[in-house]
Amino acid sequence: MTSLTEIAPGVLLATSSFALTTTTVVVSSASPGGCLLIDPGVTVAELTGLAAELAGRGLTPSVAWSTHPHWDHVLWSAELGGAPRYASPAAVTAAGTERDGILAGVQQDAPGHDLSLVGLLRPLDASAIPWNGPQARLIVHDGHAPGHGAVFLPGTGVLIAGDMCSDVEIPLLDPLAADPLGDYRAGLERLAAVPGVRQVSPGHGHVGDAAEFRRRLALDSAYLDAIAGGNPSRDPRLEGCADWLRVTHEEQVRHFLR
């Protein structure tokens, strides 16, 4: 994992060695030493390093948020403390229903975690995360996963988009949803409607500015249009991509050719 880097005042970001997964820390000036921790990951060593870096900065998580119920976004370490860990109600339900699969994913790709802490989430049905720090608004939808909850920080204009708006991944649809394309489109529309986005931080990939945010929204929409028509996509994110991403893309194309 890279060291925490400040991408906006009071907003710190680290990137994992696993799939360019991002961890976000929002610092509270109202409560010195407190912070909001979003999607900490991914390996055991990286979470240990994250906890040590936070401690070195005099920070302790006072609240945490998981953007969605996939294994690499519901991780935790005892070294991070006992902060309440929230997700949307639908995400918490899905994390419970899919717990066996989540644990299998952890054991396969990031072994060594305390499995009793994986997915230990509390449902939060609210418009913002309750904490003594910068306002953290929630944008909840079902694109990519049930109850996917992006976080917008209006004070800095940073949108923590979860597994959407990536510069390295195509839209990954939820194969279990009744309307995967419709859900994803609705999610994109909700994100596009957020006023004042100055930076976007995806769950996997790199931070982009406002123009890049709009470019990614357009690119994602074009990909969905191609898939809806049962056509292969020329999405640039598929050029030289990892094998798993290519396989997922081909599966999505076949799904809509039925």
pLDDT tens, 146-205? 999 999 999 999 999 999 999 999 999 999 999 999 999 999 999 999 999 999 999 999
User: How many domains does the chain contain in total?
Assistant: 1
Residue 102: count other Cβ atoms within 10 Å of its Cβ: 23
The answer to whether residues 164 and 148 touch, using CB atoms and an 8 Å cutoff, is yes
If you average pLDDT over residues 7-11, what whole number do you get?
Answer: 98
Instruction: Residue 215: give its domain's CATH number.
Output: 3.60.15.10
Alpha helical stretches, state H, the chain: 44-56, 89-97, 99-109, 180-192, 210-228, 243-255
Which neighbouring-strand residues pair with 244? none
Q: What is the pLDDT of residues 106-119, one digit of tens each?
A: 999 999 999 999 99
Q: Could you tell me the residue range of the domain that residue 209 belongs to?
A: 5-255
pTM as predicted? 0.97
If you average pLDDT over residues 24-32, what whole number do you get?
Answer: 90
- Average pLDDT, rounded, for the chain: 96
How far, in Å, are 182, 186, 258 from residue 21 at the CA level?
Answer: 26, 24, 33
The answer to whether residues 143 and 203 touch, using CB atoms and an 8 Å cutoff, is no
Query: How far is the C-alpha of 22 from the C-alpha of 15, rounded, in Å?
Result: 5
**H-helix or E-strand spanning residue 7:** strand 5-8
Per-state percent for the chain, helix, strand, coil, to nearest 5? 35, 20, 45
pLDDT at residue 258 greater than cutoff 80: no
pLDDT band at 1 (very low <50, low <70, confident <90, very high): confident
Which neighbouring-strand residues pair with 34? 60
Two tokens, residue 185 = 């489109």
Query: How far is the C-alpha of 26 from the C-alpha of 118, rounded, in Å?
Result: 22
